[in-house]
Amino acid sequence: MTIAIKDLKQGSPAKLSRLTKESRETRPPSRFTEVSLAKKLSDLGIGRPSTLSSIVSVIQDRGYVKRHGSQLYPAPLGFAIAHVLSAKFPDFTDYGYTAEMEEELERIEENSKTKLQFLVDFWRGKDGFEKLLEGLRQNVDYDEIGKLTTIDLHNGFEVKVNRYGAFLQDPKAEPNEKGYVPSAKLDDEADLWEYRDAAVCRELLENATNAVGPRELGVLAAGEYAGYTVFAKDGRFGAFLQAVHPDQLKAEAADKKPTAKTPKPVNQKLPEGAELDTVELKDVESLFAEVKLPRTLSPQFFVGIGKKGPWLGRKASAKAKRAVFVSLPEGYDPRTMSLEDAEKIWKEKQAAKK
C-alpha cells in the first residue's frame, strides 16, 4: 500500500513525535538434524532415497560434521574442506551439478546412456575433471590454500586447520622466535559457535600459554636409549614424550648448540589415558625399549609409530607402485606384534574397503 504525504519535499524539516527503544537478539538459523538434512538434500535433487542416509553418515564418519544430541554442526575440518572445494572446484560442488549427475545416473539406469559415455564425458569432456586437475597441479598456491583453510571468527581471532587439527590463533599477536603466533589446539569435537565470544578465545589462548612446561620424568636405565633423559612436553600438536641425549642436555646447560654428532631427541606419543602432569617414567619406559622402529616383520610388512599413532605398512609391489599404510587397531604394539597379527589386520582392513 502506498501513502501519499502532502507537500513533502526533499529537505523539509521533520519533528520527532515519539521514540521507542526495542531490544532484539539475532539468532542463528536452526541446525540441521539427520532427518532435516536428508530432506534438504532431497529438495535440492541431491541423492536418492537409498543413498541419502549414507551421505549423512559419511560426512560424520570423515569428521566434516559433528553431532550434539540430534543436531548436526560443521566441524572446523568441514569448514576448511568446503572453502577449498568451493574455491577450486566451483562447478563440481555446485548444487545444480550434483542434481544433474543424479539425472545422468537415471539415464544410465534407463539404458539411454552407457556408463562408459558418462565417465568419458566427466573425465575428458570440454571442462572435464582431468583438465581441471592438471591446471591445479601446475599452479599450486600454498598461501592461497593457507587462507582458504583459515576460518575468521569475526571477533579478532581465527582458526587455522591443517593435518594436525584445528588451532585457535590471534593473528595480531607477536610471533615467537620460530615465527609462530600463540595458538591453542581445539578439541576434535569443537563447535566454532562456542568461540564467537572474544573473551572465550582470549582465555583459551592464555591457558595454552600457561600450560604445563617440560617435566623431567627420569633417566632410562636400559635399552637402546639408556642414559637418555625423558621429558613430558606439551607441543603445538598436543602432549608427547621426548628422550634427550646427555650431550644435548650438557650443551643446553652451557647455553650452546649441540654438535652435529649429537643424537637427535626421540619423540613418542603420550600413551592413551595418561596425563601430562601425572605420567611417570615407569609408565613409558616400554615406549623407548630396545626394539627400533620402523620394524620389519617380513619382506612385505613393516610397522612403526608416527604422529598419528602406530601404523602398519606394506611395501610397494607390482600392483601397488608405492608403499601403503594403515593405522593399527587399539591394543596392538608395533614393538611386540607378530607377522600373523600384521597379516590378520591387513586382511581385515582390505575386507572393510569392499
Q: Let me know if residue 18 belongs to a domain.
A: no
Amino acid identity of residue 218, one-letter, is G
Give 199-220 pLDDT, tens digit per residue.
999 988 887 776 656 888 999 9
Query: Per the domain annotation, does 11 fall within a domain?
Result: no
Residue 176 lies in domain: 149-209
283: which residues sit within 8 A by CB, 6+ positions away?
271, 274
Q: How many domains are there within the chain?
A: 4
Average pLDDT of span 77-100: 86
Regarding whether 224 and 201 lie in a shared domain, the answer is no
Tell me which of 135, 158, 174 is where a domain ends.
135
Residue 20 lies in a domain: no
Band of pLDDT at residue 33, cut at 50, 70 and 90: very high
Residues 329 and 262 both lie in one domain: no
User: Which of 22-26, 193-197, 289-293, 311-315 has the least mean pLDDT?
Assistant: 289-293
* Sheet hosting strand 183-185, strand order edge to edge: 150-152, 158-162, 165-169, 183-185
- For residue 290, name the pLDDT band (cuts at 50, 70, 90): low
For range 28-36, the mean pLDDT: 88
Say how far apart CA 68 and CA 117 lie, in whole Å: 43
Answer yes or no: do 52 and 77 share one domain. Answer: yes
State pTM to two decimals. Answer: 0.55
The string of pLDDT tens digits covering residues 261-284 is 888 888 888 887 788 778 899 888
Instruction: Give CA angle at 272 (271, 276), nearest 5°.
Output: 65
Distance of CA 42 to the CA centre of its chain: 28
What's the whole-number mean pLDDT along residues 48-76? 87
Whole-angstrom distance, CA of residue 204 vs CA of residue 276: 18
- Hey, which residues does 72 pair with through a beta bridge? 67
CA 335 to chain centre: 28
Cell numbers that stand for 31 in this block: 541446525
Rounded distance, CA 81 to CA 289, Å? Answer: 40
Whether 327 contacts 320, CB under 8 Å: no
- One-letter amino acid for residue 326 of the chain: V
> Do 122 and 43 belong together in one domain?
yes
- 83-92: pLDDT as tens digits: 988 888 888 8
Report the pLDDT value the prediction gives residue 210, as an integer from 0 to 100.
65
The predicted model gives 227-238 an average pLDDT of 81
Contact status, residue 250 vs residue 263, Cβ threshold 8 Å: no
Is the same domain home to 129 and 184?
no
Q: What is the pLDDT of residues 107-137, one digit of tens each?
A: 888 888 888 888 888 888 777 788 788 877 7
